[in-house]
Amino acid sequence: MNYHKVFKLDKSGKSDAFFFKKSGQLIFKKKYITFLIERFKKEKKDIRICVHKNKSDKLQVMVNLIVKKKQYEIHYHKYSDEYYFPIKGSLKLLKFNQKGKLQSKIVIGKDNIIGRVNKKERHVTIPTSSYCVYLEFRSGSFISHKNIFLNKFVNSRDY
């Protein structure tokens, strides 16, 4: 697929983001997931397609592909809840207290099909295989200082 015809690339975030060139795209095609997987196989890094129009939209909807790594940074979002719906693969959702102690671990995928993280809840998502493709919903416009990274890491092999 020639992504230049369909998407514009935004490299300003923690991972590459693709936005639809046509504003108001109404259909998300299966071939877009294939595009994410093919790009992952070449670059071995996180990537996403933003279904929302831009960073200021009140509802942020993304199809993410995250890569299994050795370490993940615990973080939280000041003003928004997040919802996760795996499309291909499954995710471990780890939630932590303020001191960084594990509070809960849930696998979202086959049986648990939607996961939720409340605002200000410290968490990490880890794919159970080499990668996971999932749909993520989040409220509010995207402003990087609303996402707090704590410089605390977890080793994926420990969970």
- pLDDT tens digits, 25-81: 678 999 999 999 999 999 999 999 999 988 888 889 999 999 999 999 999 988 889
- Mark out the alpha helices in 25-126 (DSSP H runs): 30-43
pLDDT for 146: 65
**Strands 71-77 vs 82-88: parallel, antiparallel or unpaired:** unpaired
CATH 2.60.120.10 assigned to domain 3-158? The reply is yes
- Reading the block at residue 36, the tokens are 């994410």
Beta bridge partners of 47: 16, 65
Spatial separation of the C-alpha atoms in residues 59 and 137, rounded to whole Å? 7
- Cβ(67)–Cβ(127) below 8 Å: yes
Span 71-101, pLDDT tens digits: 999 999 888 899 999 999 999 999 999 888 9
Neighbouring CB atoms inside 10 A of 123's CB total: 20
Of residues 56, 52, 76, 81, the one with CA closest to residue 64 = 52
Span 97-134, pLDDT tens digits: 988 899 999 999 989 999 999 999 999 999 999 999 99
- The SS3 call for residue 97 is coil
- Mark out the alpha helices in the chain (DSSP H runs): 3-6, 30-43
Domain residue ranges in the chain:
3-158
